[in-house]
Structures are given as structure tokens and as C-alpha cells.
Chains A and B, each alone.
Chain A
Amino acid sequence: MASLPKRIIKETERLVSDPVPGITAEPHDDNLRYFEVTIEGPAGSPYENGIFQLELYLPDDYPMEAPKVRFLTKIYHPNIDRLGRICLDVLKTNWSPALQIRTVLLSIQALLASPNPNDPLANDVAEDWIKNEEGAKNKAREWTQLYATKK
């Protein structure tokens, strides 16, 4: 395995020793650049009580390149498509090497709290959201209940 930059090790250590509330991130045993992530749905949002699984991968050029993050759990959200891909500026153009795994995951949590249907990735969801926000939120709650709660 290619050698791991010091920064990644440092970040991983900090994620474990000083975790962000509502977020867990654990590196995979076989590949320390691959993280298994869970994010709790923020209180007050339609995703409350849900626990969402994500995967995060640090590319070779990290931290020059942004990490790649994807939802594994199905979620009804205008900025997250059916494949779990996330539309978030810091993951794309606004990435800066000063950002870290921690900050990226916090941004995603914030995105759950405040969906942005005006910059959609899942167009049908966004449309739904604009037309009938309550109905959309109900559906999101439903999905959360259905897919993101532990049974």
C-alpha cells in the first residue's frame, strides 16, 4: 500500500480521539484512505432520528483534491441523487486543502439541516420540494423512517 501522508494519519487520529457529535468516521482496515461514515439526521430536520451511512474516500492527491463522499443510505433530499451523490460546493469547486474530512462531514450534516432545492442534483425531488415543501418533508421523514432508522 502506498505510504500514507502524515496529514491523513493525523486527521484519522483526531476523528477518533475527538469525534464530531452526531458523526462517526472509521477508516477501513484494508484501505486507510477509505472511511465508513455515519451521520445522524439533524434535530428539527425531516431527517431527525435517522442514521445515514456514507462512504468517504481520500484520492491520491488529497489534500490537493477533495475527498469523494457518497450516501449509502437512501435519502429523499434535493441535493442528493438516487445514487447517493452529493451536490456540495466544498466537494467540488470550493475545495481547499485547508479543509478536512471533519469539515466536509460537518458541511454535509448542515446540508441535511438546510436543503437547497435551488441548486438541485435530484431534479424531481427539488421540484417536489419547491411545489409542496411540507409534502416533500413528509416524504423525507417517511424515507428516513423506512431506510435510516435502526429496527
Chain B
Amino acid sequence: MTEKKRFFKDELESSIETTKSFNTSFENSKSFLFNPTQDNIDIADPNDNNDDDGDVGNDINNPEASINIESESDDDIEIIEESQISPKGTFTNGIIDVVPDIDDKMISQLYNKYKDTQDPLSSALSYYFENCQSTDGNSQKITYIPSSPIKISPLKRKHTTIASFISEPHHTTPTIPSQKKVKKSIMWERFIGALQVTAMATRPAMKPLKYGSKFKLVKQQSDIPTSKLYDTKGRQKKMMSSYVKIFDIQLNREIGKVPEDIARIIYPLLDTDEVIFDATLVFCDDRRLSIGDSFILELDCYLTSILFQDEIELLSSQSSQNLNNYNNNKPLHQSFKSNTPDKVEDMESKSRRVALITLFKKLRVRPLQKHEEELIKTQQSENVVQEEEDVIDVDDDEGFGEIMSETYENPEIDSPKYDTEESMNLNQLQTFYNSAQSYETLKNLPETNPPSELVKMTLRPYQKQGLTWMLRREHEYDKAAQCEDFEVDGDMMNPLWNQFKWPKNRSWNVNKLKEKSIDTSINNELFFYANLHTGDFSIEKPILKTMIKGGILSDEMGLGKTISALSLVLMAPSDSSQAEKKLFKTDTEDEINTESPNLTSRKPYASKTTLIIVPMSLLNQWNSEFNAINNCSKYKSEIYYGGNVSSLKTLLTKTKKPPTVILTTYGIVQNEWSKLFREGGNSNEAVMSSSGLFSLEFYRIIIDEGHTIRNRSTITSKSVMDLSSKCKWILTGTPIINRLDDLFSMVKFLKLEPWCNVSYWKTFVSNPFENKEFKQAFDVVNSIMRPVLLRRTKQMKNADGEPLVELPPKEVVIKKLKLNKTQEAIYKYFLDIAENSVRTGLARGDLLKKYSTILVHILRLRQICCDVELLGTLDDNDEDISRNSQVFASNSEIKRLIDNGRNASDEELNDTEKESIISILQEKYPTIDSLKKQECSICTTEDIEVDKMLLPVCGHTFCESCLTEYIDYQKDKDKDAEIKCPLCRSTIARNKLFTPLYDKTNDTLSIVHYKDVVKPAKLAALVDNLQQLEDSSSGEQVIVFSQFSSYLDILEKGLREAFPSDKAKIYKFDGRLSLKERSTVLKEFQEKDLSKQKILLLSLKAGGVGLNLTCASYAYMMDPWWSPSMEDQAIDRIHRIGQTNNVKVLRFIIEGSIEEKMLRIQERKRTIGEAMEADQEERRKRRIEEIKTLFE
């Protein structure tokens, strides 16, 4: 060791050149590091190969060297690289040939020192043998900071290494605390806790050990390659305790060894100087020790500045824009890419991490909860002398349980396994993150009232709070409402980090060495922070930098996300930082850049424009809402759709007053993206030459119904991701539709570091979730989402305990109907076919192969429930099922059934009888005037319309609906009862009904037999209900939902027949309408007309989301949908803010049919949640289950 010391000294004194050359190499490494990514990969790969060679081959046969090489990472990579190609490589090989166990650091040094001499190799060797040959492997140890693959900047590491190199060791062992000035790099150390360790003597002691005598802990063989300690799966192969020995400092001889559990902690940490262990004898029974005797040590543990150093650097560097480059160059999340720690480097860092965690656990250093921090701070400020409680609750390991479970599987330690709550479903998740954050946020947020000269309407209190939050997220603090206890956004701690309080120094030494601290400043710090996932430490609070301004506004449907977003746009219409730079305009580069800086930086910056992407059906609604809320003539909106703007680039950057808002649809974005990135090879050039959405960088992008991008493999999602802007907002009422991973797309869109990296997300969210560690996954999700997501629900209460929104009650009633006879016959026919198909499928076990066929069967049955006519229609809007024609019966078969159904009810009236009745009736009503002013005695309607009039044999007049209802009612009550005319009590019969037929052009009236066409059950029920509604309150607006757009056509026809055009107006809104037609339809529908009932036939798919139809308070759902949330969404079109009346929803369900079973599946979906369907096998099973349910 003394030689070694001298070597350092000599080195320092003799050669300034060395330092210089180091600096040069440092410069080099810097430039190397900041090269583009590709180069790095090229270099990294041979390095990996080299590792493998190192073990078997002969070019590095020194195990210690190999450890160092692998752990030292980048700058050493360079060295290795050179060892194969450069003069340095030859030099290195030469040295290694002679001195196999030489440290490669030393090789570098020697090389640098002698590279300019004539024969560098021999000079170096002679120098080496003269000066620094050492027998003690341990003494050659060079300060080695274990790489934490994520965070530590290679830059810094180099610094540290140099520092330790040129420092002057005063003492032999750096691990003895009393000599902590050993290396300058250890600026300070601080007590973290003490352990009582029962050690075992391995050597007999001559005399009893003195109480209080100092020991040191030494690695027995520091040169054991990691590969020997751990097997390929990262499991430990050998007992650590055999490698950690206790040395007596005075006698410098081995005394004993520590127990295995302690050794496991100490071994990986011993060499690092990050943690210092200070052993003192407290008990040895006051007698001589024989081998195997136990004695008790107090092991004081200190954390040193080295542990914290890198982190401080990291934090400061993170804020700079270098981060991007840094990310690009270094495979940042390398270690997360694979869970198998096949690389030694991984293994080392992992063992170190585990050791740290275990140490913390043993020392009972627990992460602080939020309130604890406050408590401690107050105590501190009040100068309360707080006494640490000396008794630590031994069982209180909970805090650690959490951390432990968050690390990867750690086979080395018995981590407390979480009792995985088996059934954490989406609903629970929803409540989970609701309760976790928004509630508090909500109460404490001040309200920002947008100035009336900007925003016309008054916002609701919670919308004002939302606005405050949104403005803060965009760092527009001066515009947001202020409040006292507001801490600037950045105060959010990085979720992966935990806060710890420095414990009181209770070490052995504290009494003896009163003034042992070197750097007192550190002792003033109350807390430190540690990321136990990566093993990184910091004194400063690791502030979470959210790189992008923006977030997710995830208020529940109907809470007015649109208004909130538009208020934000109006409050902060343009980039305020840009306004000052205005003179230099266009190509100014952004400070915060997106992931492809070279691409975006050249895009012109539309600093005054917000791009809003919405589903097509909402385009006009957004536009009109903007105009409704905007009170400032300066601001205007522009719809970018259908090629109405030739060059967006020119419009936004070259004109004097660019529109504040550009509205466009997902379709347009996707379209432009496909054109740019799919076709042309050189996309970059294409982008530059284009003038559309992708040619610009916007100030802000808002995507409405943001769950549209949830599947990141879709083109829509990809294209939206490629848009660039400074602020990004997602509006969605349902952030999670199916899977937890839905959130990832949003995180990715927001470019939320580091979660937008897919491997990061997988490691911390997806994988734990799939492994059923729900608690952990949700914890992480929660902490990711907390800063960027604001969600309020209708049920939430404000600070005064009042609900956010008081919506009028909503009543959803399921109305069970019976199929009419025709439908029933056909339904039965198709049900038989379907059941057969399922049965054979189940028997043969290939049910799922025939899945699509079965879906067609199911579809047929559902269609029959609606209307038999649907069977014949081919409608691409309906469902994406390939229509295998052989599955169905031929058309003639259906026809036969339909005809059968029609005639089954009553025996046909013979013609002569018919003729005679008709002639009697014609006598009674010869002209149209004779039928005027006729009253229906059932509904008391006067002046029944002629074409709706029914005449029984007796010739009394009734409404069609009244009389048929009467007959059906009587039949229902008593099947065999004789039905009598309500007026004259003469017998009437269903098949003896007649109706007048008036021919306007010829002014002739004829009486014809009333063809007993029974309306399909649902249409009849709908007509009845609408009629009743019209009777009780006229001029209502109602919405009729169906998922089959061809059914909407049938309904339209049926309703037009049932209601005269002056009584009811029927509108239809489905995917086939053009944008313009859509807005006309909605506009007309929304106008109140007391004289007419307005009926809107709405396709569930085209109009299910986003539309605001609060003018209506009645809705009819004609057919059930597979997913209940889809229906909820649809109902929320009318049950939302602005609705003043009670909402009534009637769902028509055919009794005993497939629809009833669908309801059951819906119910189950609600409770189980799709989240549980994560794995493929499970999903298959569930599908089969579902099919079975349908046909049981």
C-alpha cells in the first residue's frame, strides 16, 4: 500500500502531463458521448462481445480488470475499443502479457505517461515494477463508483475517478471512519444507522478483545468476478460471508466473519466508499475467543458524499436541454430492456441496489410520508429539541415492504411478498386514482375567473379551479389565480424517489469525537432522498421535471371539458415568451424541445395558434362553442377540414393575425401523416416541403376524446404523436377504455419523461400488472398521473361539501317487449341454426375458429329482435363482419317465414264476406266528408285522420292504434273472450277490420280490408311511447339510438307512417352524413318547436360521443350494445350540464332473447372490467364463456 501511495504521489507530482492527457481524454470522451446514437451502438456492441471474450479468451484474463471494465462503462469502453485497434491496444496487450493482474486504469495511466517515448511498453513496465507493484490486491483498488445505468453521467464519473486518483491517501484502509479524509472525494459522511451484529470468530484470539476496540471490514478476495458470485439468473451462488472478514486494526489480522445476511449487504458496498461501515466491539464475553465463538459488534453505517455526488450533478443536468442528447446517445434505460441481468454490469448494480435496500431495511430507515415532512419541518423551525425514539417497532416494516416489492424480483433476499389483491379491476382503479389525488387537488385549488372581455360565459367554480390548474401546468402563473400555499409546480418529487430523514447520530463515535464532522453544512440538512429502484441518492429534492407543458383533463363526461379547454385557449392564446422575441420570429429554436430536435427545430413555430383535434362529429360543435364563449374580436377560429386552407404554414406564420384556434379532425391528421410518412422515403424532406399540420410547430395542441389514440399501433395514434407543439393537452372522460396500457399512449403523447419510454413503462407498470402486482402498478401509475391528470366526477363534492354539478335525476328503464309472431318464427329458425353451430363448435373444440361465423349468427338474432327487414340489408356501417352467405337461409326461406308469420294469427277472411261488409260500410260512408269529424271513443280524439281510421263491421270509427290496442288488450285478458265494439257492443274481430282509403286526386273514398300487418315489436313500442309522450307534453325533443344505421332507416320509415309530418319532425344522424349535413341536422333539431315533436334518430357510433344534445330529455335505446360504457356515453349526450329536465331513458329489450343475455354480459363487464382480460388464454376462455351464455 505504501508503494501504491507513492505511486499516486509521484504521479501527481511528476507528471502534469498526465493530468493534461486525462483532460484530453475527458474532452474526447465528451465529444464521443455526444455523438449521435448510432455511433454509440456501434461501439457498445463490440464491448458486449468483449465481455464474453474476457471470460474465456486471453486478451483480458484478469478477472478484476474485467469487473472494472464492465462496471466503469463508457470511458472504459473507449479503452477496450482501442485495445484492439490502436497503438494503445497493443500497449495494453503487451502489459497484460507481462503483468496479468494489472489494473487497466493503471494501464491507461502508464500509456498516457509513456506513449510518447520511444518504447512505451518497456518504459512503462520498468516504471511499473519499480514503483507500483503491489502484492495486496486490495490496495490497488481504485475508487469505483458503481454505475447506475440510468442516471449517472459518465462525465461525472470521470471526474470522480480523477479526483480519487490524484488524491492522497493518508491511511491504509479507506473504510475506517476515523480516517475519513482518506480521499478528497469523500467530502462528508453522515450517520445513517447502526446495526448490532453477532459475528463469529474465525481465528482464535490471544487475549480477550477490548471493549470498544475498532475493527475494519475487509473483502477477503476483492477480485472475485461477479460471474462467480451470481449465476446467470442473478441468483447468488456463493455465501457472501466467506468473503467479508473482520480485521483487527491494531493487529491487522483477521478476527472473524459477519453473518451471511450482513455480508450480503456489505459485500457489494464495501469497495464503493458510498457507504462506510464502522465496526466496534461491544461484547465478547470478556474472554479469549476460540474459532466459532461469537462476539457482538456495533456496525455504524455512514452514507458518504460519493453516494450523493452523482445525483446532484444529474439533477442539474437534467434540467438542461442536454438531456435529450444525453438520452439519445446513451441507451438510457438499457437495464430495463431485459429483465434477465445477463450482463455483469447489471448484476453488479443490482446487487448494490439490493444491498442498499436491505441495509436501509435493517437500519429501519423508512421513507417519509408527506405529513411527516411537515411535522419535522415545523419542529425544526420551532427549535423543538426532538428526541428520537430509541425503540423501533420491529414489526413496522411496512414502508419497506412497498419499496421492496417495487424492485425487480430479488431472489437474494426474502422480500415481503405482497398479497396480491386478486380482483383489482378497472372500477377499483378508477376510484383508486380518483381518491388518491384529485379530491385534495380540487379542494385546494384557487379559482381563476377568466376576464369577461375574453370569455363570455361564467364558468362553474370547479371549471375555474380546473383553469387554474391548466394555467399552472402551462407555467402561466401570472394568469392563474394565486393562493398562499401554492408551491410552484416543480415541487413535485420524482415518484420513484423517497424522502428520508437523517437520523440522529447515535454512532459509537459520536460521544468520543464530538467534532467529527468535516463539512458541517451537510449536517444542517434534514432530509435526503433516495431512489431505491436505481440506487441513486440525492441531498437535493429530486424534482420531477415534466418536460412538456400540458396534461390530461379527464373530467367526467358532461362536466364541461370543452369550456375549460377553450377558456384556457382564450386566457393564454399565444406563447408569451415568443411575443418578446417576435422580431426574430420563425426559426427560433425552442428551449424545451421534443424528441427529434433536428426535425422540429426547423419547423416554423406557430406561436399564436392552438391546434384542436376532435372527432369529426364534434367539429362544428367545437367551432360554435368557441364562438359562443369567445368575447374578443381579436381571436378567431378556423376549421381545417376538407382542403379549405391551402397552406396552413402560410396562414399561421406569415399572416398578421393568424387564427387562434385551428380545428381539425383525427382523420385529417391521419391522412396527412400517411401521405408524408408512408409514401415518400425521405420523410424529413417531405415534411419540410409540405405546408400542412406537420410542417409547423404549434403553440398548443388539444386532442379531444383523447382516448382515440389509446392504441399506439394505430395510424391515428402514431400520426397524432408526430405533431409538434409546446403545450399538449388531452381531453377525455374515459382515460382508460380497456387496459392500463391505454394510459401509456397519453403519457407518450405528452412526452412525459421518463415514462414515455416504452421499456420504462413496461418495467414499472405493465409487467408488474401482468404479474398481478396490482398495488405496485397502480402506485406507479398514480404517481405518474398525479401531476398531469385532473379528474373530477359528477359525484365529487367541492370544499363546501356540495356536489360539483347538480344534474337532474336520470331514470333508465328497461322495457321488456315480446316479439310479434312473424319475428318469433324467424327468430326461432335462426336460433336453431346458431345453436347448432355453437354446439358443434364446442364439441369439436374449434369454437373460436368459427368465431366470426358465430358473431354473424348473433348479429342475425339481434337484427331479428329489431326488425326482420334488417336481415335483408347489407350495411357496411353496421359491423365489420364478413358476411358468409352460406350461413343464412336463402332469401326465399326468410320470405316464407315472414309470410307464415303474417297469416298464422287469424284465418283468412273469405272474399264474399269481405265484399259484403265493405259494401255496407261504403253505404255508411260514401264520401270523405262523411268521415270527417269522427271521434274515436277510446282516446276521445276528434276528427280522426282518415288513413289512420279503423272500422269494425259495425261501422264505428276508431283510431288504428286505439282499436288494435283494445283488441290486443282484451285478447290478453281472456283469450277466448268475444271482443265487442266499445260503442255498440256488437262483436268485432281482428280479421274483420277495415280502413278507408282516400284518393285525393280523384276525391274518391273506398273502404278496404285492413291488412293485419303487425308492426315489429320495437317499432310498435316506440310509436306508442312517442304517441303517449306527445299526448302528455307536446313539442318534446327525443333521441332514438340504434347501432344499426339501416335500422334507423326502417325506423324513419315507420315513424313517418305513424306520425304525420305536421305533428312530428324526424331527423336522422349517422355516419353517412357529410359534415355540413351533420351541423344542419343538429341545428334544426335543437330548435324548440312546441307544435311538433322532434325525433332524432342517432347512430350510436356516429353520435355516441361528444355531442351535446341537452335540448332533449327523452331517449330511447332500441338495441343493446356489447359494452355498457358505450351506452352510458350515449345517454350522457343528454344527461350532462345544461340539462334542466329529468332525463328518461327507455331501453327496449326483447324478452327471452339474445338481447336479455347481452344485458347479462354487460352487467358482468361492468363488474369485472376488461383489465382482467390481460392474458390471451384468459380472454379466449372468456369469449367461449360469453358465447355459451348467449346460447345456454
Contacts and interface: CB of A to CB of B under 8 A. Distances in A.
Are A and B genuine complex partners? Answer: yes
B887 interface: no
A3 B1028 contact: yes
Given A5-B1028, A98-B982, A11 B966 contact: no
Interface stretch (B385-393, B426-434, B1029-1037): B1029-1037
B939 A96 contact: no
B1140 to A, nearest CB: 18
Contact of A5 (B939, B966, B980, B985): B939
Interface string B1002-1036: 00000000000000000000000000110111000
Interface string A61-91: 1011000000000000000000000000000
A96 B983 contact: yes
Contacts of B1029: 3
Contacts of B937: 97-98
A93 to B, nearest CB: 10
B940 A96 contact: no
A82 B941 CA distance: 38
Nearest to A63: B938
Interface string B956-991: 000000100110010000000000101101000000
Contact of A6 (B941, B969, B985): B941
A94 B940 CA distance: 19
A28 interface: no
Contact of A61 (B939, B962, B969, B1028): B969
A96 B979 CA distance: 10
B966 A3 contact: no
A92 interface: no
Interface in B923-970: 937-941, 962, 965-966, 969
A5 B938 CA distance: 11
Interface in A96-116: 96-100
B1031 A5 contact: yes
B982 A97 contact: yes
A11 B980 contact: no
A2 B788 CA distance: 46
B1031 A6 contact: yes
A10 B969 contact: no
B982 A11 contact: no
Given A96-B983, A97-B982, A98-B983, A3 B940 contact: no
A71 B985 CA distance: 28
A97 B938 contact: yes
A3 B983 contact: no
Interface in A1-50: 3-7, 10-11
Contact-residue bracket for chain A: 10 to 19
Nearest to B972: A64
A97 B982 CA distance: 6
Nearest to A3: B1032
Contacts of B940: 6-7, 10-11, 100
A7 B939 contact: yes
B969 A64 contact: yes
A11 B1028 CA distance: 16
Nearest to B969: A64
Q: Is the interface of A mostly helix, strand, loop or mixed?
A: loop
A132 B366 CA distance: 103
A14 to B, nearest CB: 9
A6 B938 contact: no
Contacts of B985: 94, 96
Nearest to B1031: A6
Contacts of A63: 938-939
A6 B941 CA distance: 9
A96 B985 CA distance: 8
Contact of A64 (B965, B980, B983, B1033): B965
Given A64-B966, A97-B937, A4 B982 contact: no
A96 to B, nearest CB: 4
Nearest to B1034: A6
Interface string B531-555: 0000000000000000000000000
Interface centre among B940, B1028, B1029, B1031, by most A CB within 10 Å? Answer: B940
A6 B940 CA distance: 8
B950 to A, nearest CB: 14
Nearest to B966: A97
A83 to B, nearest CB: 25
A60 to B, nearest CB: 12
B1063 to A, nearest CB: 13
Contacts of B1028: 3, 5
Given A96-B983, A96-B985, A98-B983, A3 B938 contact: no
B983 A4 contact: no
Contacts of A97: 937-938, 962, 966, 982
A4 B1029 CA distance: 9
Interface centre among A3, A4, A5, A98, by most B CB within 10 Å? Answer: A98
A63 B959 CA distance: 14
A46 B1032 CA distance: 43
Interface centre among A6, A10, A61, A100, by most B CB within 10 Å? Answer: A6
Nearest to B941: A6
A5 B937 CA distance: 14
Nearest to B1029: A3
A11 B938 CA distance: 12
A5 B940 CA distance: 11
A5 B982 CA distance: 18
Interface in A104-137: none
Nearest to B956: A98
Contacts of A99: 982
Contacts of A5: 939, 1028, 1031-1032
A3 B1033 contact: yes
A4 B1034 CA distance: 12
A11 B941 CA distance: 11
B982 A3 contact: no
A61 B966 CA distance: 10
B1032 A6 contact: yes
Contacts of B983: 96, 98
Contacts of A61: 969
Contacts of A6: 939-941, 1031-1032
A106 to B, nearest CB: 16
Contacts of A3: 1028-1029, 1031-1033
A7 B1029 CA distance: 13
A65 to B, nearest CB: 8
Contacts of A94: 985
B1121 to A, nearest CB: 27
Nearest to A61: B969
Nearest to A95: B982
A11 to B, nearest CB: 7
Contacts of B962: 97
Given A3-B1028, A3-B1033, A96 B969 contact: no
A11 B969 CA distance: 22
Nearest to B1032: A3
Given A5-B1028, A64-B966, A64-B969, A98 B1033 contact: no
A5 B1028 CA distance: 6
Contacts of B1032: 3-6
A71 to B, nearest CB: 27
A97 B979 CA distance: 12
A35 B985 CA distance: 28
15 contacts: A3-B1029, A3-B1032, A3-B1033, A5-B1032, A6-B939, A6-B941, A6-B1032, A7-B939, A10-B940, A63-B938, A63-B939, A64-B969, A96-B980, A97-B937, A100-B940
Given A5-B1028, A97-B982, 13 more contacts: A4-B1031, A5-B939, A6-B941, A10-B940, A61-B969, A64-B965, A64-B966, A96-B982, A96-B983, A96-B985, A97-B937, A97-B966, A98-B983
For the complex of A and B, list the 6 residue pairs with the smallest distance between their C-beta atoms, beginning with the closest: A3-B1032, A98-B937, A6-B1031, A98-B982, A96-B982, A97-B938
